Amino acid sequence: MAAATARVLIGAGTLVGVGVWVSGSAGPSTVRTASSSTSSTGAPATGAPATGTPATGVRLSGAQATGAGAARARRPVTYYVAIGASESVGVQPMPGYRHGRRTDDGYANDLAAAERHRWPGLRLVEFGCPGTTLAAAVDGGSVCRYDHGSQLATAIAFVRAHPSTVLVTVDLGFNDLRPCLAHERVNGACVTTTLRQIGRHLHLLLHRLDATAGRRLHVVGLEHNDPFLGYYLSGPRGRAFAQASVPVFDRLNAVLRMAYRRAGDAVANVPEAFDVGNRQLLRMPGHGRVPAEVAKACRLGWTCSVLRYAHHNVHPNDRGYDAIADAAAAALGGVRPS
Per-residue pLDDT for the chain (338 aa), expressed as one digit of tens each? 333 323 333 332 233 333 232 222 233 345 565 554 444 444 433 333 323 322 222 111 122 333 444 455 566 899 999 999 999 999 999 998 877 899 999 999 999 999 999 999 999 999 999 999 999 999 999 999 999 999 999 999 999 999 999 999 999 999 999 999 999 999 999 999 999 999 999 999 999 999 998 778 999 999 999 999 999 999 999 999 999 999 999 999 999 999 999 999 999 999 999 999 999 999 998 888 999 999 999 999 999 998 888 889 999 999 999 999 999 999 999 666 66
pTM: 0.82
Which residue type occupies 250?
Answer: D
pLDDT score for 99: 78
State whether residue 45 is helix, strand or coil.
coil
CA distance 152 to 139: 8
pLDDT score for 31: 57
CA distance 61 to 10: 13
Going along the chain from its start, the domains and CATH numbers come out as 7-332 (3.40.50.1110)
Q: Tens of pLDDT along 190-213? A: 999 999 999 999 999 999 999 998
Virtual CA dihedral for 31, 52, 161, 172, nearest 10 degrees?
50
